[in-house]
Amino acid sequence: MTRAVPGDRVIVQSGSVGGHDRDGEVLEARGPGGTPPFLVRWSDTGHVSLFFPGPDTVVHDGSSRVPPPAPGGRWG
């Protein structure tokens, strides 16, 4: 099961050709022990929403540096 703590980054990979990946910062894990749902602030819009990760989601430890998205929203 996916777990996260505040400060972690979530990256949702696009499921379509020409689509854009999305990334956001985990503000809070609302489930027990850091499990979903997560409260996430999305970097592309600044919008905060409740998020349930799917199989296309990767969680990166917020204490490590995650490279910014390349132009066009694709992760390098």
Compute the mean pLDDT over every residue in the chain, rounded to the nearest whole number. 87
For residue range 35-60, list pLDDT tens digits in order: 999 999 999 999 999 999 999 999 99
The count of structural domains within the chain is: 1
The answer to whether residues 9 and 27 touch, using CB atoms and an 8 Å cutoff, is no
Order of strands, sheet of 57-60, starting from the edge strand that comes earlier in the sequence: 48-51, 38-42, 22-29, 9-12, 57-60
Say if 72 falls within a structural domain: no
Say if 70 falls within a structural domain: no
Dihedral-angle region of residue 63 (phi above 0 means left; psi in -120 to 50 means alpha; beta otherwise): alpha
Say if 54 falls within a structural domain: yes
- pTM of the full structure: 0.78
> DSSP assignment of 37-70, as one string?
PEEEEETTT--EEEE---TTEEEE-TTS--PPPP
In percent, the amount of the chain with pLDDT more than 70 equals 83
Q: Which residue has the higher pLDDT, 56 or 62?
A: 56
